[in-house]
Amino acid sequence: MESLDKTEWDVVISGTGLPQSLLALSLSRSGLNILHVDRNGYYGGNEAAFVLSEAEDWAQKHSGDTQGTFSHAEVVRPSDDSSVKEQLGQSRAYSLALAPQLVYTRSSLLPALVSSRTHEQLEFQAVGSWFTVSIPSDDSGSQETSPSFARVPSGREDIFSDNTLDLRAKRSLTKFLRFVSTYDTEEQQEQWERINGKAAVQSLREDFGLKAEAAIAPLLALALTSSSPDAATMAEVVPKIARHIRSTGLFGPGFSAVLPKWGGLSEVAQVACRAGAVGGGVYVLGKGVTGVAQKDDGASEVELSDGERVSGKWLVGCPDDLPSSLRSRASSEASEIVARSVSIISSPLAMLFPATSEGGVTPAGAVVVATSSDPKEPPVHIIAHSSDSGECPQGQCILYAFTASSAGFRHLEAAIGSLLRSSGDETESKVLWSLRFQQTLPVFSSEPAGEYQQKVIELRPLPTDVALSECVLEDVKQAWSKIKGDTADDFMKFPPREGEEEEF
């Protein structure tokens, strides 16, 4: 392409991760002159999806103990099992996601994709059942022959047909779920103010009469909290369980969440970038932002990694994609560290993907929450994607696991081992290939972005939550409003282009 040197732009967006790509989508009908660059040679940034060979190249790049977002990456292949090696498909048979987060059906992202007319380019699939599984407590390496494995009840009918609960526990559980569904109403305000600061396990026992661990563990699983059972509070747990309950049945019976097909949130980012390009945005991969200087008129002179300089009235990016001098909202002292793995499994693990209801859809996703006997140990969350997700060949599945446990990779390996021993498959389920890595995200303050705050916008990176956080679209909306100066009512609402029919 022609040189970018000395060109002028209304908005320069650095990085093609999900937040930046959604911003590009929101500005795609604005008439603004937009340059969207990425230091990587692929779309998606920290939310990218890779074929097998690309994932191995990515692991090599992030193998060191660095100060970046990703570190300690390594690929683990079975070295002494020829049958396992033969089962691994061709590189392009896989699409492995760095951001496999599920999307609740009540998420604000979904109506934004509809009103921005990009939903037809995406395919979402149901995330069906939630499960719990125990992690062996013996650190010596011995394994339980039959780890405790159970499906989490998804409604009143499931609760009362659960043989692991006595009648008193079932009534207490039903009472709690009724409270959760209305916890933020005026009617429940007094009780909510009284209990929201309490430890979740303590409050469930004292305030709702839930004494049995068999009733408490599923509730913590529904909350998808990264905190240990001992540390989780009602303020953390109740809103997340309410999110689950309120999302169930919106798009069909028996499921509360969906996943984008073909590579997790990378697909959403790429569709958003395509919309930006259709709107006239210029996209350049392999060029990052390395320096910024403020001009007299308030605009930024942006230096790109190849030495070219461009001018932008606005500069937007996540911390990874901006020079360190601009990362003033992120704390240098506090960070969140998560151990993660992506594993290709030799069998479909069909027991994880039952139909969502009688006559309902067969889901492509499931959630497994693995816990140890130590209540101070954070859980391992495993998101399972079947081959229907388009991420692996038929007869296999993908397990995405992550934990805030200090035990890191060892805890992930133990959790996946417990799940595979619980599979009930006639043939032994094995890990054919695994990528594991550490992800570190800064803790953000609410302060604006320093001396460049008027014309430089620092978006928060995607949190490491199991489910997509509402803060992602909220950040994008705030950035859009600063740049456009329009009211929030117009955000992501596009009329049909010429030749398109109005659908809603």
Instruction: Quote the pTM value.
Output: 0.93
pLDDT tens across 12-31, in order?
Answer: 999 999 999 999 999 999 99
pLDDT tens across 122-172, in order?
Answer: 999 999 999 999 997 754 445 545 788 999 987 666 776 777 778 888 888
pLDDT tens across 227-244, in order?
Answer: 999 999 999 999 999 999
Residue 347: the pLDDT is 94
Residue 258: which residues within 8 A CB-CB, separation 6 or more?
102, 103, 105, 110, 124, 125, 126, 127, 251, 365
Instruction: Give the domain CATH number at 472.
Output: 3.50.50.60
CA distances, 207 to each of 197, 228, 237, 287, 288 (Å): 13, 20, 15, 56, 54
Q: Are residues 241 and 171 in the same domain?
A: yes
Q: Are residues 238 and 306 in the same domain?
A: no
What is the rounded distance in angstroms from the CA atom of residue 91 to the CA atom of residue 490? Answer: 43
Q: Are residues 185 and 318 in the same domain?
A: no
Of 221 and 423, more confident: 221
What is the rounded distance in angstroms from the CA atom of residue 142 to the CA atom of residue 123? Answer: 43
Instruction: Give the domain CATH number at 351.
Output: 3.30.519.10
Task: Outline where DSSP puts E strands in 322-421.
Answer: 330-345, 365-371, 380-386, 397-403
What is the rounded distance in angstroms from the CA atom of residue 244 to the CA atom of residue 480? Answer: 29
Structural domains counted in the chain: 2
Instruction: Work out the widest C-alpha separation in the chain, in whole angstroms.
Output: 73
Q: Are residues 227 and 240 in the same domain?
A: yes
Q: Is position 323 within any domain?
A: yes
Q: Are residues 13 and 153 in the same domain?
A: no
What is the rounded distance in angstroms from the CA atom of residue 232 to the CA atom of residue 352? Answer: 26
Q: Are residues 242 and 126 in the same domain?
A: yes
Q: Is position 62 within any domain?
A: no
3-state class of 74 per DSSP?
strand
Length of the chain: 504
Task: Residue 456: name the closest of 338, 327, 332 by CA.
Answer: 327
Task: Residue 73: name the closest of 342, 396, 254, 346 by CA.
Answer: 342
Q: Is position 418 within any domain?
A: yes
3-state class of 271 per DSSP?
helix
pLDDT tens across 27-74, in order?
Answer: 999 999 999 999 999 999 999 999 999 999 999 999 987 778 999 999
Q: Is position 247 within any domain?
A: yes
Q: Are residues 16 and 161 in the same domain?
A: no
CA distances, 436 to each of 8, 115, 281, 310, 317 (Å): 41, 37, 35, 38, 26
Q: Are residues 437 and 453 in the same domain?
A: no
Q: Are residues 207 and 352 in the same domain?
A: yes
Q: Are residues 130 and 164 in the same domain?
A: yes
Q: Are residues 251 and 117 in the same domain?
A: yes
- Domain hosting residue 143, numbered range: 91-261+335-441
Of 477 and 502, more confident: 477
Q: Is position 388 within any domain?
A: yes
Residue 452: the pLDDT is 46
